Amino acid sequence: MLKPLPPSSPHRSHFPVTDLPHTRTRTVHWVLTAALVGAVVGASALVPSGDSTARASEDHSGSGGRAAPAAPDPRAANYPLTCGKQKPEVTEHGAADFDGDGAPQTVAVVRCPAGIGTPPHGVYVLAPAAERGAAPRVVATLVDPDEGMNVERFAVRDGTVSARLLGYSSPDVPRCCPDKRRAVRWEWKDGAFALVPGPVAGRTSV
């Protein structure tokens, strides 16, 4: 079972996320420099479930042949993202039973609605509601919208979250045209998410 983020720290991950060697503590650094990707690190709040092997929710079958529980609805969650009078919109999502407890989690890519422009994305992990009728719980932030990045090529497969992150080399780069990109993935290892960066792609071409 996964615990929700405390109200006092809306962007801090309380679903375990581990740093890799030579990483930075904020994901934005790899976009602006050639350093490896960093991760948001939070205190472990995962209740041990015995088997911590990640499994895709569609492949999980309950005991006695019963259907696996449904993954949290990403459009029913309350995200730590302020969009004025509008509600954050979910652009993509996927699900997997990362901690192997039989209840799948949902990973959602979220941003503020915008008629024009390119608002930054956030990537959040959702766990089932604590009680019937309540909203799904946000238990981790994989990408914080405060980092000012955009997400594409998002996928959740075999218990791994993958994406390509788009960023900007300086404040002078127009928001329409990110000039930095990098493929990343989050793998569930030893009871925590480990962020694995791909090579730095450098300046993009049109």
The answer to whether position 119 is within a domain reads yes
- Can you read off the two tokens belonging to residue 42? 């939070």
Q: Which residues, 6+ apart, have CB-to-CB distance to 51 below 8 Å?
A: 100
For 93, what's the count of Cα atoms within 13 Å in the CB-facing half-sphere? Answer: 21
The DSSP 8-state label assigned to residue 150 in this structure reads E
126-176 residue pLDDT tens? 999 988 889 999 988 999 999 999 999 999 998 899 999 999 888 898 888
Provide the pLDDT for residue 201.
58
Amino acid at position 62, single letter = G
Residue 63 lies in a domain: yes
Q: By C-alpha distance, which of 118, 123, 121 is closest to 178?
A: 118
In angstroms, the Cα distances linking 9 to 73, 105, 113, 126 are 23, 21, 24, 16
Pair of tokens at residue 122: 């956030």
Token pair listed for 137: 């719980």
Length of the chain: 206
**Tell me: the pLDDT tens digits for 71-93?**
999 999 999 999 999 999 999 99
Residue 3: inside a domain: no
**Domain extent at residue 106:** 17-197
At residue 84, the 3 state secondary structure works out as coil
Q: What's the structural domain count of the chain?
A: 1
Q: Is residue 205 part of a domain?
A: no
Residue 78 lies in a domain: yes
Question: Does the pLDDT at position 46 exceed 50?
Answer: no
In a domain, 173, yes or no: yes
* pLDDT number for residue 175: 82
**What proportion of the chain, given as a percentage, has pLDDT over 90?**
42
Mean pLDDT of the chain: 73
Contacts (Cβ under 8 Å, ≥6 apart) of 12: 5, 6, 40, 42, 141
Evaluate whether residue 4 is within a structural domain: no
Any domain includes 9: no
* Pick from 64, 66, 62: nearest CA to 100: 62
